[in-house]
Every structure is written in C-alpha cells, then in structure tokens.
Structure 1
Amino acid sequence: MGVRRVARGIGEFLVELLGEFVAEVVLSLLACALLACLALTAYLSWSFSPPLTIAGAGLLSLFLAHGAWRTFRDPAKGRRRRGLAAATTAGFTLTATTAGFLLFYATDCGCL
C-alpha cells in the first residue's frame, strides 16, 4: 500500500515537472519570437523612412505617456475614463504587460 502511494506521488511529481519545463520553453520561444518581430518591425520601418519612424516613435511615446498619466492619476469624482483616456490607458497597460513579459522571459533568449 505504501509503495503504490510513493510511486503515484513520484509519477505526479514528474508529470508536473515536465509540464512546467514545457511551459517555460513555450513562453521563452514566444518571448523570443515577439522580440524578433519587434526588432524586424523597427528595422523595416527605419529602412522605409527614418523621419517617419522617428515621428511614429514620438507619437507612440506621447500616447503611452498620456496613458501612464491617466493610469496613475486619480480620476475626478463621478467621472470614468472615456474615449481617448480609455484607449491610452489600455495601450499603456498592454505595453507595460508586454514589457514585463519580455523582461522575465526574453532575458534567457540566446538571440541577444
């Protein structure tokens, strides 16, 4: 009876260990692919038109700065985020989440 329980526990541990290993590999590959796509987009944009790339980066920076400002600022009483404020807040949140994901998983990427 005790041997079966130990064998089952070891089997469950090995399955869980293998599952975590596979999940880490998949997340690392996803992070490397995302990083490669971002680098390719920047390269193609720069090769197409450097002034438009700089203008686009400036507009994206303003968009994200407004989103950060609206995220960390206390809203006025009785008012919720609408229109541009909601879009910039969502964009900032998505960008911050993506940056955190890349920080944790793309650091192990061998492509850097």
Structure 2
Amino acid sequence: MGVRRAVKGFGDFLIDTVGEAVAGMILSLLACILLGCLALIVYVSWSASPRLTVTGAGLLSCILAHGVWQTFRRPAKARSRGLAALTAAVFTGAAATALFLLLYVPGCGCL
C-alpha cells in the first residue's frame, strides 16, 4: 500500500513539474512573439510615416495618461463614464501587457 501511494505521489509531482515547465515555455514563446509583433509594428509604422508614428505615439500617451488619471483618482458623483471607462480599459490592457512582457520576455532568450 505504501509503495503505491509513493509511486502515485511521485507521478503527480512529475506531471505537475513537467506541466509547469511546458506552460512556462509556451508563455515565454508567446511573450517573445508579442514583443516581435510590437517591434514590427513600430518598424513598419516608422518606415511608412515618421510624423504619423510620432503623432500616434503622442495620442496613445495622452490616452494612457487619461486612463491612469481615471483609474487612480477618486470617483466623481455625477459624470458620464463613457470616455473615462474606455481610457481606463486601454490603460489596464497596456499595464497587463507590460507586466506580461516584464515577467516572461527575459526567459525567452530573444533579447
């Protein structure tokens, strides 16, 4: 009885360990692909029109700044939340993407 339980415990440990290693490799690969796509977007955009690229980066910076302001300020009582919700969602998505890249890109070996 004790041997079966030990073998089963070792098998569960091995499955968990291999599963975590495979999941880590997949997430690192996805992070590397995402970073490559972002770099390609910047390269193609800059090749097409540097002025438009700088203008788009400035607009994105304003949207992100408004999203940060909407996310971390105290809620107003009687305001329309349409644009505020949109910019807060854009900021949250950008922050989640940055955190994902910060955690998984160093392990992919593409840098």
The two structures have a TM-score, normalised by structure 2, of 0.96
> Equivalent pairs: percent with the same residue?
64
Q: 1:97 & 1:50 partners in 2: Cα distance?
A: 27
Structure 1 ranges of 4+ moved more than 2 A: none
Q: Which residue of 1 aligns with 2:89?
A: 90
Q: Which runs of 5+ in 1 are unaligned?
A: none
For residues 34-73 of structure 1, the C-alpha deviation after alignment (integer angstroms, 9 at most, x for no partner) is: 0000000000000000000000000000000000000000
Does 2:51 align with 1:47? no
Does 2:10 align with 1:22? no
- 1:95-106 superposed matches below 5 A: 95-106=94-105
Q: Which residue of 2 aligns with 1:72?
A: 72
Deviation at 1:80, TM superposition (A): 6.5
Deviation at 1:111, TM superposition (A): 1.4
Q: How many equivalent residue pairs?
A: 111
Q: Which runs of 5+ in 2 are unaligned?
A: none
